[in-house]
Amino acid sequence: MKKGILERLDAGEVVIGDGGYVLQLERRGYVKAGHFTPEAAVEHPEAVRQLHREFMRAGADVLETFTFYSSDDKLELSGNVTNITGEQINEAACKLAREVANEGNALVAGSVSQTPCYLKSRNEEEVKAIFKKQLDFFMKKDVDFMIAEYFAHGEEAVWAVQVLKTSGKPVAATLCISPEGDMNGVSPGDCAVRLVKAGAQIVGVNCHLDPMCCLKTVKLMKKALEDAHLKAHLMIQPLGFHTPECNHRGYISLPEYPFSLESRAMNRWDMQKYAREAYNAGIRYIGGCCGFEPYHIRALAEELAPERGLLPPASQKHGLWGSSLATQTKPWVKARSTREYWENLRPASGRPLCPSMATPQD
């Protein structure tokens, strides 16, 4: 029997989450940008399966079902598909995640996310009914735990947690908010307190901002929980892009979103630094969201290998800190086979006259 998510976290283990699916699959030609709905789980299961497999091989302990934005109201709004239902997507996504997770020691997390219904009506009964419909599919497929992710409004996330808690399975909740708080002006700390009181055992942030910004937000959550004498595990799954100038709306306000973000991509050494700082902040569920590729997840797993007691299978093809370059015949490349070289490198953009910052657009 695999240890559950709370068993692992309660024992002090580091849990590595997976990375971003919608942007990766858009780049690979399986997801249409705009509403970014996950019909690829039905249309191209081999693509979703392969990405699951790559993330797990890189070290992920959790595979999230590819059910982001799969509520029926979102699918209807997107217009991307007319012959595929939310039920079909949820069922296919659960099957794919479980199939790959069973190839290793990974857990499957059923994922729900923000709904158009909330912004349209703010009707608690209607919004909860959408989450309940998705939850029923997750229970049918017996996922290991639930994640309410990518919520810009803490209130909607609380409603999601209240529904997911009825499953009796562990519940994690992550908000896509900045240190400034959610879109209703509620602080990160207050959001965290409300989520834990609603029943979430794991709280944190995901998406919208880079690791350094997300770390600030989770630290505010941690302090508020401590002040309120509440206990919960902390979780972080940030962007794989540098976004130091972002406002509280996150990277979607950057002029490069979504098709020119490559120049902002974090490298593997950035990821190792992020993993260490997250661990030092007391966060034990550490992963990524949009922009995170499998090699980024491998970097997290390699940085935290001393604490985890193992390296991921993908490290068989990767020398730690560039050590494989020691076999190079070109002396200037061979000289790059040390940790000191990569830790002190200041990467160039290679783009003449490229501005170092952009002006976010609301």
Report the CATH fold assignment for 5-318: TIM Barrel (3.20.20)
Flag the least confident range among 64-73, 95-104, 182-191. 64-73
* pLDDT given at position 246: 84
In angstroms, the Cα distances linking 237 to 128, 173, 243 are: 25, 11, 14
Q: Extract the annotated binding site.
A: 207, 289-290
Q: Extract the annotated binding site for Zn(2+).
A: 207, 289-290
Mean pLDDT of the chain: 95
Q: How confident is the model over 164-197, as pLDDT tens digits? A: 999 999 999 999 999 999 999 999 999 999 999 9
Greater confidence, 175 or 34? 175
User: Residue 362 — pLDDT band, cuts 50, 70, 90?
Assistant: confident
Q: What number is the average pLDDT over the span 245-258?
A: 91
Q: What number is the average pLDDT over the span 127-154?
A: 95
CA within 13 Å, CB half, 251 = 29
DSSP secondary structure letters along 20-47: -SHHHHHHTTSS-TTT---THHHH-HHH
- Give pTM, 2 decimals: 0.95
* pLDDT given at position 80: 77
Distance CA 189, CA 225 (A): 7
Is residue 72 over pLDDT 90? no
User: Residue 361 — pLDDT band, cuts 50, 70, 90?
Assistant: confident
